Amino acid sequence: MNQKPSKFQYTGAIVCGIPSSLPDAAQRLSDPPEPVNYNKAVQQHLAYVRALKDLGLQVTELPTDEEYPDCVFVEDVAVVCDKVALLARLGHTTRRGEAAKMKTTLKKLGLEIVEMQEPAALDGGDVLFTGKEFLVGLSTRTNQAGINRLAETFPSYPVTAVPVTEHLHLKSMMTMAGDDIVVVGESEDAKNAWSEVEKKARFRYEKLSVPEDTAANCVFVNGTLLHLPAHEIPNSIEVFNQIKGPKIELENSELHKVDGCLTCLSILI
């Protein structure tokens, strides 16, 4: 499979350091089989940030905040598109304080800020921007009011709600692997979500199937695909090996233990 030239370019990204409170206090769907190795998590995150910088992005690095164990997962806090930032009202109440620091950062970057009010709730991890439209997970963290608010904020793009039943977020099981290419896991939840995309999305996409839902979370940046390495996705790596074009393998074993994915770690601008 050949990656096509990227139709839109990212110029920057926002990331945040990992607080030492994360291993014990981060939100998670279930307890991991083994604890998070904090030092290893920090090293993996540093490699992620370095990769974004090597791709030419201007990276804004927020300091860690021990009060918010999940603050490294910045993607959830805002959706940025066309110089407009929707500041989300996060689905988990313990994380909503993260928005204050993010609002200051978005202002400094010169973005127009739109804030989300109750009863709307939305996590950025549920928001998949294809370059043409938004596919948004209707999940335990994102409600219909949140999806409606996103549609109001970005009226130039169609918005389609996609039910998420087993996973934390939509992007836990599907992301962009190239222009008009969506990589999708093979769990029942992922298959059902893809079926909804095929029925409801305004545009058509090529589907790239991977056996492991974990493998389906990638970051596609300006023609380069960031994905997990073979030892983390042994059943899916051959699919990525067959993709032609620049790729970077990034480890995420430690943050995965608290439901963190590659896309969770940055807001692309």
193-211 residues labelled b (16+ CB within 10 A) or e (exposed): bbebbeeebeeebeebbbb
| Burial readout 160-186 (b: 16 or more C-beta within 10 A, e: otherwise) | bbbebeebbbbbbbbbbbbbebbbbbb
Catalytic residues: 169, 264
CA torsion 255-163-126-200 (nearest 10°) is 140
Q: Assess contact for 186 and 211: CB atoms under 8 A.
A: yes
Nearest to 218 by CA among 239, 195, 202: 239
Cβ-proximal residues to 21 (8 Å cutoff; 6+ apart), any chain: 66, 67, 69
Tell me the C-alpha distance between 155 and 241, whole Å. Answer: 37
